[in-house]
Structure 1
Amino acid sequence: MTTLKDLLKADNVSDGSDRDEKYSDCEKDIKALQEKIKEKLAESARTLPKIFDEKTPDKIPLAPPLRERRTLKGHFGKIYGLAWSGDGAHIVSASQDGKIIVCFYVFFKPHVHLEKKRGV
């Protein structure tokens, strides 16, 4: 097991003055690196195109709140998948209860119910 005295001897540090020098050198290096980072950030800020000009407001208006239009019925579990058909007239939904339902989107009237069968 190494002791503090062994560590100090291994580093050739007899008193705290050498340690203080190393600490101050590290602080200087850190400050120099921080300055380099600030310079690079300032340089990149000048070269990047401005996203907003003077005419645009600082705050972008949020989207209007969403509201429920229709309720999809027929599932007993959580719905984990929903997709529109290619023609945009039908919706296909799948849930944890094992059902896949194809609905006409205007009336949400189910066309097809596919259920998972148990057994072989």
Structure 2
Amino acid sequence: MNLHGLVSGVVGTVNPFVPVTLNRSTGYTTADDGKRTPTYTASPQSAQVQGLSAPEIQHLDGLNITGVLRKAYLNGDWRGVYRPDNQGGDLFVFAGAAPVPPSLQGTTWKVVQVFETWPDWCALAIQLQMG
């Protein structure tokens, strides 16, 4: 049962879903000099972003994950680092205009932790990236 699907409409009236481009890592290319450049597949999504709870902050701090952090809910089964499939480093890229909140506009966030993953939805910790 997709519980997130059942409550997302009601929760969305208080904290609306915003458009985001999810750049799923597809590995990397290696230049002649040995430098690796990550490659991605872009996928338009809709995410609900909110602050972290105290236990979530404490958990991430225990993993030595710091910086500007948020929690994102979205449909689908997305992952952070998943070594068996050589996946990881997925990026959230928010548009630079409404309906994206001003605090997220034009920013890029990296998936650093998966809090919950279900067949229909997931909750991810995302970290603001510089530049």
TM normalised by structure 1 equals 0.17
Name the structure with the higher helix share: 1
TM normalised by structure 2 equals 0.16
- Structure showing greater relative contact order (alpha-carbon pairs closer than 8 Å, 6 or more residues apart): 2
Decide which structure has the larger Cα Rg and report it.
1
Name the structure with the higher strand share: 2
